[in-house]
Amino acid sequence: MGPQANRPIKALLTMEEILNDLHENEGATVTAVAERIDRPKSVVHDYLSTLEQLEYVVNDDGSYRLSLRWLDRGCKVRDRVSIYDLMIPELRRLAGELSNEMVSFAVEEEGSVVALEVIQSREDIEYETNAGMRFPIHCSGAGKAILAYQPEERIDSIIERHGLPEFTEKTITTREELVEELEEIRQNGVSYEYGEYHSGMATISAPILTPDDTPLGGISITGPERHMSEPEVKSTLSNKLLSKVNIIELNYSGRN
Amino acid sequence: MGPQANRPIKALLTMEEILNDLHENEGATVTAVAERIDRPKSVVHDYLSTLEQLEYVVNDDGSYRLSLRWLDRGCKVRDRVSIYDLMIPELRRLAGELSNEMVSFAVEEEGSVVALEVIQSREDIEYETNAGMRFPIHCSGAGKAILAYQPEERIDSIIERHGLPEFTEKTITTREELVEELEEIRQNGVSYEYGEYHSGMATISAPILTPDDTPLGGISITGPERHMSEPEVKSTLSNKLLSKVNIIELNYSGRN
DNA sequence: ACCGGCGTTCGACATACACGAACATTTACG
DNA sequence: CGTAAATGTTCGTGTATGTCGAACGCCGGT
């Protein structure tokens, strides 16, 4: 949740309750929503019909659901991310070279990592990572890569806001450890994440930087830990990442 | 725009004005938005801070923009489309076989066609088609394929709502022509669209149907008209489409 | 035909939103 | 460094408007 507004518009909070309910409960009727959020039917009706007019929800034969307009807006927001278009072809090329692992591109927003593009591996392992998903920054490969190039004050404010929650026994949970690792990332140019979020899974990532070292995002290779542990594999993958990043950064500075 | 609500919640209409403004104008400040939508700064401020609290917008150093939460919600809505997960692997396989053309999957919503997945061709032609985008149903390949399996009354209500606007000289603009073509599509099992929306571009599509012939969506192959005109190419591509559709439909009926 | 459930409409009240002015904060410029 | 302009934020007030409950109409089931 974002910072508290001093005088929030209550109608928007009510709307949010209703949208969340629709999000969680598929095919919701006016009465069902009204009961769950504990409000008169008439109120829910007025909100839903307004949201329908605005095309945020659609009414399929009596039950409401969120419309695909959310996807439209979402994709437009994504396309507006500065390097999105430059990154896509390189990410595809990378995926072509590594058909056994998942590759992805992520950016930071409000202290979390958001995956903007995910290309699944051709193996039958389906990771539950999808475009749009948010992850904690301190135990994600791309997150640590991005964090490594943030000013220290920003790092602290992110820690303050989200904490360093533990997901596995390998998760970094103290500021000191994290700062130390970020220093290492700055030296290597790549970040490693071995089972810090999901046991058995590993990610190698590299940040994409502007000429003055502001992080724009990060690209990652994710796979089962056993695929990624051998030192020569680690260095091969790291080099592949860095070469793609290099191309993206060159194209980026070339157009400004 | 959806059907008019009798008693719309005005606060939501105001919110929409502000969100649309943010959508159109990158990096908008409170004052700038207030001037454009002609309202007091204080009002815009209250709305934006509420929207920030709800994480629909973020405040990067003073200027607001839509957040990536829209992407998150949008992708979840998309993933909820019944055959989305079954369709993806087949669409990828199709794209692999046809590296020179764009392939896509679309569904109908409120009388328009919405692209849910777009895999660009490996050629350097970049179509401006992206996930989430909406298209008129009567001059899109997938749209006509889906329309062919709708009850006649539904077809009429869609025509009534959206009309049959002309985009090129080849666009179908009369109900009679359309109905005739839909009959043909039902016979072939595939639909063709040659320059009806964008001159010089062509699409071949096939509908995905439930066992009782309810259309769930359509998959398409799109490319320059010159690639797709030869009769043998036309039939090869049609067959490829139909074989993928077959697999998807089998998997679909297999899990219910 | 009756009953129960659901969506919808409507009038009335109290509240919460819209407004403008004033205050705080940042930026621009001499 | 100091002043001015522009922007973001706070706040009191009147009234428009969201909230509520009750009643109506519609449909499907028994």
DSSP codes, B138-175: GGSHHHHHHHTTS-HHHHHHHHHHH----SSTTS--SH
Task: Give the fold, CATH level 3, of B74-254.
Answer: Beta-Lactamase (3.30.450)
Phi (first) and psi of residue B238, to 5 degrees: -60, -45
Q: Do B68 and A58 touch (CB under 8 A)?
A: no
* Strand C at less than 7 A from CB of A41: yes
**What token pair was written down for A188?**
């290597």
Please name the residues between 11 and 50 in chain B that touch chain A, using a CB distance below 8 Å: 11-13, 15-16, 23, 26, 46-47, 49-50
Select from A48, A73, A137 the residue whose CB has the most chain B CBs within 10 Å, as the one to mutate to test that interface. Answer: A73
What's the CA A27/C1' D29 distance, rounded, in angstroms? 22
Nucleotides of C under 7 A from a protein CB: 5-11, 16-22, 27
Residues 32-71 of B with CB under 7 A from strand C: 39-43, 46-47, 62
- B110-162 pLDDT, tens digit per residue, is 999 999 999 887 766 667 788 899 999 999 999 999 999 999 888 998 998 89
Distance CA B128, CA A79 (A): 12
pLDDT band at B2 (very low <50, low <70, confident <90, very high): confident
In tens digits, chain A (256 residues) has pLDDT values of: 777 788 899 999 999 999 999 998 887 999 999 999 999 999 999 999 999 999 999 998 788 999 999 999 999 999 989 899 999 989 989 998 987 899 999 999 999 999 999 988 776 666 778 889 999 999 999 999 999 999 988 899 899 889 999 999 999 999 999 999 999 999 999 999 999 999 999 999 999 999 989 999 999 999 999 989 899 999 999 999 999 999 999 999 887 6
Q: Do A16 and B134 touch (CB under 8 A)?
A: no
- A140-158 pLDDT, tens digit per residue, is 999 999 999 999 888 998 9
- From the list A54, A58, A74, which residue is nearest B12 (CB)? A54
Phi (first) and psi of residue B68, to 5 degrees: -75, 0
**Considering only CB atoms, which chain A residues are within 8 Å of B12?**
11-12, 15, 47, 50-51, 54
Q: Give me the mean pLDDT over the B12-37 stretch.
A: 92
- B161-214 pLDDT, tens digit per residue, is 899 999 999 999 999 999 999 999 999 999 999 999 999 999 999 999 999 899
pLDDT recorded at residue B60? 83
Contact status, residue A26 vs residue B80, Cβ threshold 8 Å: yes
Select from B1, B9, B55 the residue whose CB has the most chain A CBs within 10 Å, as the one to mutate to test that interface. Answer: B9
Strand partners, A114: A107, A134
Q: What burial class does residue B186 get, using C-beta atoms within 10 Å of its C-beta: 0-12 exposed, 13-18 middle, 19+ buried?
A: middle
* Strand C at less than 7 A from CB of A8: yes
Beta strand spans in chain A (E): 57-60, 63-66, 102-109, 112-119, 134-136, 191-194, 201-209, 215-224
Q: Do B53 and A5 touch (CB under 8 A)?
A: yes
User: What CATH architecture applies to the domain B10-67?
Assistant: Orthogonal Bundle (1.10)
Contact status, residue A16 vs residue B55, Cβ threshold 8 Å: no
Q: Do A75 and B71 touch (CB under 8 A)?
A: yes
Q: How many CA atoms lie within 13 A of A153 on its CB side?
A: 0
- Please state which CATH number belongs to domain A77-254: 3.30.450.40
Contact status, residue B2 vs residue B8, Cβ threshold 8 Å: no
Distance CA A238, CA A205 (A): 8
**What token pair was written down for B14?**
């105001």
| Domain chopping of chain A, boundaries | 10-67, 77-254
**Considering only CB atoms, which chain A residues are within 8 Å of B73?**
23, 66, 70, 74, 132
Amino acid identity of residue A52, one-letter, is: E
Q: Which of B218, B175, B240 is nearest to B81 (CA)?
A: B218
Amino acid identity of residue B150, one-letter, is: Q
Give the residue on B whose Cα is nearest the Cα of A59: B110
* Strand C at less than 7 A from CB of B93: no
Q: Which residues of A43-67 are buried (b: 16+ CB within 10 A; e: fewer)?
A: bbbbbbbbbbbbbbbbbeeebbbbb
pLDDT recorded at residue B82? 87
Contact status, residue B255 vs residue B210, Cβ threshold 8 Å: no
Contact status, residue B248 vs residue B206, Cβ threshold 8 Å: no
pLDDT recorded at residue B123? 67
State what percent of residues in chain B have pLDDT above 70: 97
- From the list A50, A53, A114, which residue is nearest B68 (CB)? A114
Q: What burial class does residue A246 get, using C-beta atoms within 10 Å of its C-beta: 0-12 exposed, 13-18 middle, 19+ buried?
A: middle
**Considering only CB atoms, which chain B residues are within 8 Å of A76?**
23, 132
- B206-234 pLDDT, tens digit per residue, is 999 999 899 999 999 999 999 898 999 99
The angle, 0 to 180 degrees and rounded to 10, between the axes of the packed helices A10-24 and A41-53 is: 90
Distance CA B27, CA B66 (A): 9
Strand A215-224 versus strand A102-109 pairing type:
antiparallel
Contact status, residue B65 vs residue B22, Cβ threshold 8 Å: yes
**Considering only CB atoms, which chain B residues are within 8 Å of A17?**
none
